[in-house]
Amino acid sequence: MQDDVPGTVLNEGGPWGGSGGKDDEDKKKWGPTRPGGAGPSALDALIRRGRARFGGGGGGFEAPQLGGLWQWALAALILLWIGATSVHTIAGQERGVVTRFGKYVGTLDPGMRWTLPSPIDRVTKVNVDKIEEIPIDNGPDGQAGENLVLTGDGNVIDLAYSIRWSKRDPEQYMFEVQDPQNTIKEVAESAMREAIARMSFDQVIGGKRQIQQEVADRAQELLDSYHAGVLIQGVTIKTAAAPSEVINADKDVTIAQQKVQSYLEAAQSYALQITTKAQREATQFDSFYVLYKASPEVTRRQLYYETMEKVLAKSDKVIVEPRNVVPYLAPPAGVAKAQEPAK
């Protein structure tokens, strides 16, 4: 038993026993052991484990072990990630929209700004000074270059125009409208058709500036009612003309009108010729009627002779009258003379 141990053994080497040396120095440095000699205290054990992991014993600084390097590297990466995702530089033409776990919490003004690290806070930079343009020249069937609009007087016009816009309120632009660009396009088309429906074809062709301003104001009014966060910069009409089908039809109509005019002129010329001929014949008939009335018998014989000359001039035959009377009729030119009878 412990009572049987001589006192000299308990007190050997100092008040805590032992033989002195390095063990005694450690005891003096780190504290006594637990009562009863059961080993080092909990604090002593914790300190010894820390020394063994990060530096070793008291003989000076030693290089950390492999496990310590990984811990330092991980800590450095965490610090870098926090710094990279918490510090934000917002340019003068930008605004930073901050969302915390997907919910909007604020907007950052230009400058150096701080937020919670990602993925807690996320910052989306929105350029509020950039002017974007949406061309509108597609018809309902997606045919490029044709956008047919009905005018107030029932005509169809082909319009090609564009709308310029910018982001005025980043929060509304990102969260109030699901598809801002498509919404802007549809609103511009609606405003344009509304304006064209109140005007005639000729007014549309000659009033482009008025239509552009009216469409821009109406589109801005509708987008504000949707809280789209968009500012309409202007509308530009590039083309305003009749559709290609109407142009081709107009060309066909013009060609047909030209043909009709040529036919009318030909008919009028022919009618003039016939009228002139008829008037000349009527005048001749009137003159001949005066002669006939003065001497009917002579006139009838003269008519008979003239008619026979016209008829026989086209014939190559010789006519023999009855009663053995053979008058001599000169054959037409080109007909061989009859052979004279032998004496």
Strands of the chain, DSSP E: 87-90, 94-100, 103-108, 111-114, 121-127, 132-136, 148-150, 156-167, 230-241
pLDDT surpassing 50 at residue 2: no
| Rounded mean pLDDT, 179-183 | 93
More confident residue, 38 or 42: 42
For 136-140, 185-189, 321-325, which range has the lowest pLDDT when averaged over its residues?
A: 321-325
Q: Which of 112-126, 218-232, 310-324 has the highest mean pLDDT?
A: 218-232
pLDDT surpassing 80 at residue 302: yes
| Rounded mean pLDDT, 17-39 | 48
| Rounded mean pLDDT, 24-28 | 49
pLDDT surpassing 70 at residue 179: yes
For 41-45, 140-144, 159-163, 173-177, which range has the lowest pLDDT when averaged over its residues?
A: 140-144
Q: What's the confidence (pLDDT) of residue 277? A: 92
Q: Please, which residues have CB within 8 angstroms of residue 11's CB and are 6 or more apart in sequence?
A: 17
Omega of the bond leading into 119 within 30 degrees of 0 (cis): yes
More confident residue, 28 or 51: 51
What is the share, in percent, of the chain residues with pLDDT greater than 70? 69
Strands 103-108 and 111-114, by their bridges, are unpaired
